[in-house]
Chains A and B, each alone.
Chain A
Amino acid sequence: MGGVTGAPGRLTAFIVSLILVIIGLAVIVYGFTRKEVHVISWGLLVPAYTFFALISGSAIILEGAHTVLGYKGPRGELARIVKIGLWFSIATAVCAWLLIAAETTKPWIFWRIFTDFNVTSRIAWMVLLYAIYAVIVIIQLIVVIRAASGSLEKVELALAFLGIIVAVALYSNLAQVYGTIAAIPAWYGPHLAAYFIVGVVLLGAAGQTLFIMPYAWRDEELKGFLTQFYGRIMILGVLILAFLTVWNVITAWYNPGVWAVYSEIVAGAYSAWFWIIVVLIGIIAVLVLALYATFKRNAPALILAAILTLIAGFVNLSLLIIVSQTKVPEVLGGLYRLAAFHITSWEAIIIVGAIILWPSLYVLGQTLLPLLPGEKPKRLFIFK
């Protein structure tokens, strides 16, 4: 860790990450300027936004286990990763916001969602709840950084409770953005809410594993603890997700109208993605790897499980959101409107920009804020 915390190494990390953040933003803006109308309304940027949004909810893992339930680990290991975990959520949320802003046609009038708030709109609530959630996580991070110089346990606890409540509302509502649209019957409100909350935990644990584990690599105790901590979460998460996936398929099967659309995912043109990426890799392989990693305390196996979880999670969200728009019931019974989906170059460019931005912003934060174990604020209230 000396390379990051030491002054010359920190300066290099700061400059490199800042340059990459600027490149990432420039790539996103460039992609936005090349936008064209898609055959379907919500293309790949919407699942990409949802993917990042779910991962950014990973703060609830730490809020829940560490602050609300008071589980610190046998040697206080969990307390050592709270700050970096909260920053990871914030950096991920920034990527999510940029993706959804790039998906809209006029992101510069986003403020109208607050001033002309439509209470019946799930998207309006999504924006409001996400803004509240982000403010809570930012305040939490400031409190945790400042708590290094004094006890703020009650404030932390209150914020953690509030954060979890807002997060459950946020992700249930985000599911309803898709789940309550009558025009697309393969989306189910009640199922999707549970699906998304489990998704937050599973994708969040995978994201934290990938981004936090490298800082524990040379600390055998911390590495072993995190391997078992995230491994157990991923085992539980993937089992619940498997159950919900089976539930979705069975429910769709018993509704002919829904099955006509949902069958495209499980038995139609997109079924290879579903069975190979979502089921074989995202559920079975991840479960086996997470079990192995947890019981053998094998960190590389967990990292592989985390990478596979993120890939399968992205594919799963893309299938749920995109395929349902490619086969839509028509005004005449029994007839369907069909649309072909293909990934456009501007979508790919914007997603590449977000992928560059994600780790760069995360590292940039670490060079400026005292997020690693033992670091304390020295300048401007919260800075190193």
Chain B
Amino acid sequence: MRLAFVWDSRRCIGCMACVIACASANHPELLREAKPNPQWNWLGGNIRVVVRDVGGRPVLRLVSCQHCDNPPCVHACPTGASYIDERTGFVRLDPSKCVGCKACVVACPYGARWLHPVTMLPEKCPGPFCSEIKKAVCAEVCPAGARLVGDLDDPESPVNEVLRKYKTERMLEHLGTEPKWFIITG
């Protein structure tokens, strides 16, 4: 199984429900204590918001772990604490093995990892709650149906259906990371 994310930029209304849901479900302790993620100067969640002004029009990107097939974070990790989960194809982190060298945070070209202000260990998608319920809360709460998660190895999965139907792009593809995170652009 190779689970992948699809984000439909045409459908996204920028309501930030996914961002809030990710932070409140996966790191409620940080929201309760009003502790931000100091590295992103943002909520203690796994989705980073990037906005760029193009010709007076804002272009939005919601950045989280791209679950790369060739992940720089996994190559950089000295203990194998960052690894590809063979059952799901997701890039995961085993905190019990992590020494906290931060090589994965530095190695990720997407800036998708951040350091938890209390444990001082890296955090990333999927967070502890999503891992537990085996669902992506960002996709569950999206009111516009702009987020999808599905198996790339299953030809019938909704993700493959969408990939066949629409024009998509992947972020920083030229780096050879082979991200499994697709953006529908048209």
A-B contact count (CB 8 A): 114
**Chain A residues bordering chain B, tally (CB within 8 A):** 41
Question: Is A328 located at the chain interface by the 8 A CB criterion?
Answer: yes
Cβ-closest chain B residue relative to A331 = B171
* Min C-beta distance of B76 to chain A, whole Å: 6
- A84 and B76 CA atoms in complex are apart in Å by 36
Cβ-closest chain B residue relative to A113 = B78
**Chain B contact residues: helix, strand, loop or mixed:** loop
Q: Which of B39, B63, B76 meets A123, CB within 8 Å?
A: B76
Contact B175–A182 (Cβ < 8 Å): yes
Residues of B within 8 A of A107 (CB): 99
- A335 and B59 CA atoms in complex are apart in Å by 12
Contact A127–B78 (Cβ < 8 Å): yes
* Min C-beta distance of A209 to chain B, whole Å: 33
- A335 and B61 CA atoms in complex are apart in Å by 12
A183 and B50 in contact (CB under 8 A), knowing A37-B120, A42-B102, A110-B99? no
Cβ-closest chain A residue relative to B63 = A331
Contact A183–B78 (Cβ < 8 Å): no
Cβ-closest chain B residue relative to A328 = B111
Interface centre among B78, B80, B171 (most CB of A within 10 A): B78
A181 and B106 in contact (CB under 8 A), knowing A37-B38, A39-B39? yes
Contact A35–B120 (Cβ < 8 Å): yes
Question: Is A146 located at the chain interface by the 8 A CB criterion?
Answer: no
- A306 and B117 CA atoms in complex are apart in Å by 40
Question: Is A329 located at the chain interface by the 8 A CB criterion?
Answer: yes
* Min C-beta distance of B176 to chain A, whole Å: 8
Question: Is A255 located at the chain interface by the 8 A CB criterion?
Answer: no
Question: Is A343 located at the chain interface by the 8 A CB criterion?
Answer: no
Interface centre among B41, B109, B117 (most CB of A within 10 A): B109
A184 and B99 in contact (CB under 8 A), knowing A41-B39, A113-B79? no
Interface centre among A36, A37, A177, A335 (most CB of B within 10 A): A37
Question: Is A297 located at the chain interface by the 8 A CB criterion?
Answer: no
Residues of B within 8 A of A35 (CB): 120
Contact B106–A335 (Cβ < 8 Å): no
A181 and B72 in contact (CB under 8 A), knowing A37-B117, A41-B106? yes
In the complex, chain B residues 79-107 whose Cβ is within 8 Å of any chain A Cβ:
79-81, 97-103, 105-107
Question: Is A378 located at the chain interface by the 8 A CB criterion?
Answer: no
Question: Is A112 located at the chain interface by the 8 A CB criterion?
Answer: yes
Cβ-closest chain A residue relative to B105 = A41
Question: Is B75 located at the chain interface by the 8 A CB criterion?
Answer: yes
Residues of B within 8 A of A112 (CB): 79, 97, 99
Residues of A within 8 A of B52 (CB): 330, 332, 334-335
Contact B72–A105 (Cβ < 8 Å): no
Residues of B within 8 A of A329 (CB): 109
Question: Is A218 located at the chain interface by the 8 A CB criterion?
Answer: no
Contact B50–A331 (Cβ < 8 Å): yes
Question: Is B25 located at the chain interface by the 8 A CB criterion?
Answer: no
Q: Which of A36, A106, A181 meets B76, CB within 8 Å?
A: A181
Contact A331–B97 (Cβ < 8 Å): no
Residues of A within 8 A of B61 (CB): 331-332
Residues of A within 8 A of B74 (CB): 120
Residues of B within 8 A of A331 (CB): 50, 61, 63, 110-111, 171-172
Contact with B along A97-114 (1 / 0, CB 8 A): 000000111110110110
5 contacts between A and B (CB under 8 A): A36-B38, A105-B120, A105-B121, A122-B103, A335-B52
Given contacts A118-B78, A335-B50, 10 further A-B contacts (CB under 8 A): A35-B120, A112-B99, A116-B97, A118-B79, A120-B74, A183-B72, A325-B106, A331-B61, A331-B63, A331-B172
B interface vs A, CB < 8 Å? Answer: 38-39, 41, 50, 52, 59, 61, 63, 72, 74-81, 97-103, 105-111, 115-117, 119-121, 171-172, 175
